[in-house]
Chain A
Amino acid sequence: MNPSGRGIATGRIWSRLVQIAFLAAVLVLWSLATTVWGVSRILLPNPVNVWHQLIDVVSSGAFIPDLRVTLGELAAAFAISMSLGVSLGYLISRSRYLIRVFEPLLAAIYSIPIILFLPLYVLLLGLGPDSKIALGATISFFPIVLSTIAGFGYVDRTLVTAARSMGASNLQMFRHVLVPAALPVVLAGLRMGFTVALLSVIASETIASFAGLGHHIVDLAENMDTARMFAYIVFVIAIVAFLNAVVSTLEGRARWR
């Protein structure tokens, strides 16, 4: 199981080389497929074309209206799920009994793909941003409420008792004991909620919408503009990665550990 006689450092260098080789192989195969092997340009665009389209998309700012729609939906969905999730989660966490009643229920609902309910929201709210916001809020509500329950519900009892013994009022208990103790878990839940909201919004735009980044990709697919579609996909993946990284950094900064 262990490489014998190799230093750890050289092992790492070789791994890196393998990864680079892998990436290079993918690019090479891709190029070959679209040029020499004659795979249809509709199915697989030429990587060079994709690159040009990507530059065009970014520089021309054509993505801005769609980005605005998607981010707007995301912001609204997250604002709703955060306020509902944290407040409900806190209230439930106040009683061991309530936790035992609601936590398994919430966890069970979260375990199925809630995207299933998108058609219901579309029926109720139409194809516009409202249905996306509603679905995004619904899905991201769960990780937030569950982690808020976990954070506030399982604060180390000794800390609470010590504060009580020193005469802490309810407000002081909340501010100086409960919140700092629960914060790391709650923040992790908020980060997950954000990521899930973003993905849910893009997913619902893909399935049933007339605007937004997800929809634009579908639009390009239907128009067989595959090169530009690939470019947009790369762009959206980059945006998602960027937003996730920002939120992760914010979470890291806000924790006390």
Chain B
Amino acid sequence: MTSAQPAIRVHGVSHQFGQAGEARHVQALLDTSLEVARGELQCLIGPSGCGKSTLLGIMGGLIAPTTGTVTVSGKPVRGPMPRDLAFVFQESALFPWNTVFENIVLGMTFQGVAKAERRDRARRALEAVGLLDFAEHYPGQLSGGMRQRAALARALSLQTDILLMDEPFGALDEQTRMVLGEDLSVLLSRSKKTIVFVTHSLGEAVFLADRVAVFSARPGTVKQIITVDEPHPRKPSFMTAPKFHALRDQLYGLLHDEIRKAISETAQPRRRYDQAGAAEADGDRA
């Protein structure tokens, strides 16, 4: 978009879980490079197991890649960078023993926000997602959509430049997804955040993204990048526009073969955000 420094720069990243020759060895990513421009919403889309969640973890400093480098806001990534990026996960990562409000305050406590500021920021973040009335509820008392809104509020309250979202609406029903997608678009137009959004849904990718990076089947690498030239906030009417359908068809064409390839694979590694990755499959509780 602009010629300014990209928000995130991924260069030559490959990642494997386990050692070559072991039963559990998986080459998740192979020589992946991409850039996320400041202020854009970039979607990562690809078949199951293509490593897009792994790449998100690598971008966020949760996983150290086997090879390659990542820079965020010009700084090399060596570990979690809570001041620069905030995550929203698919399964609500809210602490069930805290209220929604306490969850958000706790996130800021971890990040190191001054105590005096926390409550105000929490309130504003809840307002931004429309959950202020439910601040004293526990996550278990909320619907899936509301929980994800709360998770988004927590990420917003951290006031990072970048948001990394891993299929945040994946566990929700179609209608809730549409509404939340529209809200996200509105939010994006108001703030100047950079968002990386992993998704399975073609329609969601086209609706939300400024650019879509299409991944190949495992071992994942960027196959092609598609630009969606439509300003935010995007209206629901965009979904019926011919441009939308054309882009969606284009995506489908790119993905179709990759999806077939992925389905024929028998081993599906579980989603992992930490160093050990697929090696830690035993003894874990979902």
Contact = CB atoms under 8 A, between A and B. Distances in A.
Contact of A96 (B82, B87, B109, B283): B283
24 contacts: A96-B282, A96-B283, A99-B283, A100-B283, A154-B285, A156-B285, A157-B273, A159-B95, A161-B62, A161-B93, A162-B89, A162-B93, A164-B62, A165-B60, A165-B82, A165-B86, A166-B82, A166-B86, A166-B107, A167-B80, A172-B109, A181-B95, A256-B97, A257-B97
Nearest to A150: B285
Contact of A165 (B80, B98, B106, B112): B80
Contacts of A153: 283
Interface residues of A, number: 25
Given A165-B62, A166-B107, 18 more contacts: A96-B280, A157-B273, A157-B274, A161-B62, A161-B273, A165-B86, A165-B87, A165-B273, A166-B86, A166-B87, A166-B110, A167-B82, A167-B83, A167-B111, A172-B110, A176-B109, A177-B95, A180-B97
B91 interface: yes
A158 interface: yes
Interface of B: 60, 62, 80, 82-83, 85-87, 89, 91, 93, 95, 97-98, 106-107, 109-112, 158, 273-274, 280, 282-285
A163 B110 contact: yes
Interface SS, B side: loop
A104 to B, nearest CB: 12
User: Which of the listed residues A159, A166, A167, A169 has the most CB atoms from chain B within 10 Å of its own CB?
Assistant: A166
Interface of A: 96, 99-100, 153-154, 156-159, 161-169, 172, 176-177, 180-181, 256-257
B274 A161 contact: yes
Interface SS, A side: helix
Given A166-B82, A167-B111, A167-B112, A154 B284 contact: yes
A166 B80 CA distance: 8
Contacts of B87: 162, 165-166
Contacts of B80: 164-167
A93 to B, nearest CB: 11
4 closest cross-chain pairs (CB), A and B: A167-B82, A162-B93, A166-B110, A168-B110
